[in-house]
Every structure is written in structure tokens, then in C-alpha cells.
Amino acid sequence: MTVPDVTVVIAVYNTMPYLTACLDSLVRQTIGHARMEVVAVDDGSTDGGGELLDTYAARHPGLFQVVHQANSGGPAAPTNRGLALARGRYVLFLGADDWLGDEALARMVASADDWGSDVLIPKQVGVNGRLVPQGIFDATAASVGFEDSALAWALADTKLFRLDLLRRHNLARKEELKVYSDQPFTLAACLRARRISVLADYDHYFLVLREDRGNVTQRAGALDRVRGVAAVQWVAAELAAPGGQLDAIRARHFGWEVPQLLQEGLLALDAGLRDQVCDGVGELVRQFGAREVYHRLAVPDRVRLELAATGRYQDLRELIGYEAEHGAPPEVSETGADGVRRRYAAYPVFRDGAVGLADELFLLGEERAEVPADPEAGGEGGPPPPTLVQQLWRGAVPAQVRRRLRGYPVWRRLADAVAADGRNGGRR
């Protein structure tokens, strides 16, 4: 029997009417039906999706293999079953409510063959307001890593994988995870891959936000999210190289998924569940080295994480309520004995002795204070003229925008560049 170039695995559970567009996009693939196969696992659908799969299998003999099973409670089990049946040299996981561009499979397989890719990330776009991080798609690249790209922000399994890589390392989804089960799987594959590539010159994969917000990630509970993040971090701790690679993975989750658990929605949970979430977040921070990447996180995120890590749940709730009512806190600025001016976010817990959080957690930025020249030294006095980079920054970015950026990592990078430019006299 001829081995297909690519197997598309679809886990299906109550995704009508989106499933029709998904299946139609597979029928239209320009790679040709002889070079592909579709393994669709119906996980106990009750909306007619299982019958629709059978219709497509009958209409296109040899293209679709359909498996029906009782509902498993999540996407991991049907995805694993589909993977076990895959025969292609490559495998692509496709959401049952998503769809592919007509040339997607042909382009992906050709590029993976040319580059020797073990994992290939095709350009993805959101539909119906679905948010898809685009940093990894800045350019097509034969080889990318965690330290030189936005790979840490692209851990969904919406990728082309070399089947031999997955089989050799016995990689599969953790079926006990209700959400994020694809992330530890994808991370393990990327960390074991010889080459990871990006194909950004065509809209390959369209991710759909369902009108009823019925996507799995939209329905997940807070504790499910905590468990999912922990599973990802265990893989990172085991396989990622210490330093830049590991820190990139930590910064992604502790700068995004975990802080999302400590927003205003936390206050709406009942007290018992609320404390369980805080306990879980605190354990994540302590166990997986979040403090080592605090400098890469926004001030509101690292303050929340530290309050959870130190068991200051009441202070955490008050801080969340404060921001919901007042927005960003005021800034305070002071110049230390070292001549450096530091700016801090003056949350109510800032320098509260009873709370005891370090000043560094609230640090928005720092720069060397401009000191007038000593008249006795023959100087003309007054601050030195701004350098070229400083002039461009101040002229191109309005003051109110600069103030809003101060709590975010991008501000720190820009501020560091401006400060460095001042230290070397404007020379690059």
C-alpha cells in the first residue's frame, strides 16, 4: 500500500456547521487525494457531525477514514487515536471548526522536504475575531529556535510534524488535561526536533472563533488552566536548555496564561475555588522558576504572581479590585545615591511593610539622572543635549503613549536602548 505524504488528523465533537467548511477545504487540496489521507475521529458527536463524516467518506473513497467512539470528555483522546492510525510521512492536526487554504498541504510538504524539517509552522490567521499571535510569521525561515524567534508563542499543535519524530519519542497528548493538552505535546516535539521551520508566505491555516464561543479553550475552567500550564512547564524543565531557551518558555506562560488567571474574573469565583486558583498559581511560580524571568514581565503581572506566591491572597484581591476601579496606578520617581532615577508603579502595596514586596517588582524603568556640569570644572552647566535616538523617541512617540507603555516589556526594551544610546554618546 502506498504511503501518503501527509495524514490530516481531526478530532470531531459537536462542531456543526463549521465541520462542513473544514471537510470541504480538505477535499479541495491541490496536493491531490492520492498523496494524502484524513483520519477523522468522531468523539460521540450529537449534532450530526458523525453522520456528515460518513457521508464524506462515502463520497470520497480512500480519502477519509472515519472512527466513531463514545465521548471522552476532551480533544486529547480522539487526537491520540487519530495519530495512532496515521500512515503519512507527515501529520497535520486540524481543528474540526477550522479549515485550510487550497494549497496548504502541497506547500507544507514541499517545504518540509526541501528543508528537512521535523516541525513546520504554517502561517495561520484568525476568523471571526480569533486571536492568533503573528510574531512567528514575520518571515519564512528554514530554521528557527526559541531564542531567535517567537516560537514560545506558537505552541498549539496546528503544525506539520514528521511522523517518525513523534513515533520515535512516543509523543502523544496527555488525556487527563482538559485544556492545553496540545502545548506539552508540541513543546516536546519542538525541543526534540532537529529543525523547526516557518512558512509565512501563504495563508495556510484558518482558525475559527465559533459564534457560541464553544471552542475548548473558551470553555476551560481556571483549575484546568493551572494544570495545563504545569504540564507545559514540566516538559520545559525536563527538555529545554537552561538559559535563553528555558527562559523564553517561562516568560511566555508567566507573562500571559498565568496572569490571566489573576484578573477581575478571579473575584467572581466562590471563595474556595478562588483560593485553589491562587494556591495553584503560587505553586507554579515557586516550582518553575518564574522569579527568574520577572524582569521580562510587565509590572502588573509580576506583582500579582508574587502576591500569589507569598500567600497574600487578600492583598491580591484588593490589588485586582484597585485596578478595576482606578486603572493603572500613579508613578513615583526618585533618584538614588548612585545617580540613577527610578520610576515605580505606586500600587497601594508598594513599600507596604506588612506586605514586604521588593521595590524591583514595581520598577517601571530607570535612567541616569541628568546632573548639571560643575562650574568649577569649566563646564557650561545644564543638562547634556539629547542624543539622536532620544530625539527620535521623544519626537515620534507622544508622551501619553509613552506613559501607557511604561508597564510593559516593550517600554523596558526601548528605555534600555535610549539609556544605552545616552551612555555611548549616541554612537552605534
Nearest to 105 by CA among 199, 186, 237, 19: 199
Cβ atoms of 30 and 2 within 8 Å: the answer is: no
| CATH number of domain containing 172 | 3.90.550.10
Let me know whether 12 and 94 are in one domain: yes
Q: Domain total for the chain?
A: 3
> Do 154 and 238 fall into the same domain?
no
Cell 501607557 locates to 404
d(CA 223, CA 266): 11
pLDDT number for residue 374: 53
Quote the CA–CA distance of 132 and 125 in Å, as a whole number.
6
Residue 261: the pLDDT is 97
Rounded Cα distance, 174 and 176, in Å? 6
Residue 402: the pLDDT is 45
Q: Residue 141 has what DSSP assignment? A: B
Please indicate, yes or no, if residue 315 is contained in any of the structural domains.
yes
* Domain-located, residue 374: no
Task: Tell the residue number behind the cell numbers 511593610, with chain if given.
Answer: 353
Q: Is residue 294 part of a domain?
A: yes
Query: Residue 212 has what pLDDT?
Result: 73
Sheet-wide strand order for 160-162: 64-69, 36-43, 6-12, 90-93, 160-162, 119-122, 196-199
CB 39 within 8 A of CB 4: no
User: Which of the listed residues 187, 216, 245 is the one where a domain comes to its end?
Assistant: 216
**What is the distance, to the nearest Å, from the Cα of residue 388 to the centroid of all Cα atoms in its chain?**
35
Do residue 49 and residue 180 come from a single domain? yes
| Domain closes at, from 193, 216, 239 | 216
Residue-level pLDDT at 416: 52
**Same domain for 256 and 238:** yes
User: pLDDT, tens digit, for every residue of 54-85?
Assistant: 999 999 999 999 999 999 999 999 999 999 99
Residue 248 lies in a domain: yes
- Report the distance separating Cα 306 and Cα 301, nearest Å: 9
At residue 268, the pLDDT reads: 95
Same domain? 326 vs 241 = yes
* DSSP secondary structure, 370-397, as one string: P-PPPGGGT---SPPPPPHHHHHHHHHS
Residues 48, 124: one domain?
yes
Q: Which residues pair with 120 in a beta bridge?
A: 160, 197
Pair type for strands 119-122 and 331-335: unpaired
279 with 426, same domain?
no
Q: Is residue 38 part of a domain?
A: yes
Q: Is this structure's pTM higher than 0.95?
A: no
User: Residue type at 148?
Assistant: D
pLDDT of 393: 43
Cβ pair 61, 70 in contact under 8 A? no
245 with 312, same domain: the answer is yes
Residues 275-327 pLDDT 10s: 999 999 999 999 999 999 999 999 999 999 999 999 999 999 999 999 999 99
For residue 414, the model assigns a pLDDT of 52
Res 98: pLDDT: 97
In a domain, 378, yes or no: no
pLDDT value of residue 211: 81
What contacts 365, CB < 8 A, 6 or more positions away? 342, 343, 406, 411, 412, 415
Shared domain check, 422 and 397:
yes
How many C-alpha atoms does 286 have within 13 Å on its Cβ side? 11
- Are 189 and 240 in the same domain? no
Residue that finishes a domain, picked among 216, 245, 272: 216
The verdict on residue 170 lying in a domain is yes
Task: Say which DSSP state 255 is in.
Answer: I
156 and 228 belong to one structural domain: no
Residues 108 and 199 in one domain: yes
Q: Is residue 377 part of a domain?
A: no
| DSSP reduced 3-state for 124 | strand
- Per-residue pLDDT at 368: 85
**Confidence (pLDDT) at 220:** 72
pLDDT beneath 70: ranges in the chain: 1, 213-219, 370-428
Range(s) of the domain holding residue 22: 6-216
| pLDDT at position 424 | 43
